[in-house]
Amino acid sequence: MTVDQIIFLIVAAITLFAAFSVVTTGNLIRAAFWLIGALFGVAAIFAILHASFLAVVQVVVYVGAIAILFIFAVMLTRKDMRDQGAQLNRNWKFGAFLSALVFAGLFFLLRGWDGVSKTAAAFPSDFDAVAALGGALVSPDAYVLPFEVASVLLVAALVGAVYVAYNHK
């Protein structure tokens, strides 16, 4: 075992534990904080994969905006946060079976694929991934159209969220 393998295993174990706590913790504020832990773990995985820009965006967008939005929503619907009833619905055994089945299916599908044990080539030291990504997002030959459509989607989501949550009385 090399050092980066050990680091990966530690990060992955922490992330999966945090994710499991997100879906099992009764107190929703705690679930939101566990979600922050899981998102930081995914950001660390991005950093291990040399995707430095995505690691930073993960922290800024997910931890800085989305998790805080969740905490605000929990506080605005606080009556149910103290709800002492069951947190899982009555079909939870079927749900657990189905998600275990999805995991087992993916696992055996991956075992049957021969590209799965591939290791990465050394990261080229003269390649600036952030500059390449920025160029690709605004280049007409690459992804400028999805980029612009995503910005329109964000504006539509902003207007829609304000309209839906507005108190019409």
Name which of residues 20 to 59 contact other proteins (CB under 8 A): 20, 22-23, 28, 31-32, 35, 38-39, 42, 45-46, 48-51, 53-54, 57-58
What x/- string results for residues 123 through 162 when contact with other proteins is judged by CB under 8 A? xx--x-x--xx--xx----xx--xx--xx-xx-xxx-xxx
Which amino acid is present at 64? G
- Closest contact distance (angstroms) between CB of 73 and other proteins is 4
* Other C-beta atoms lying within 10 Å of the C-beta of residue 35: 22
At position 91, the amino acid (one-letter code) is N
Q: How many residues bind other proteins (CB under 8 A)?
A: 92
DSSP state of 117: T
Closest CA to 142 of 130, 150, 133, 152: 133
Longest Cα–Cα distance in the chain:
63
Site string for other proteins, 71-100 (x = CB under 8 A): -xxx-xx-xx--x-xxxxx-xx-xxx-xxx
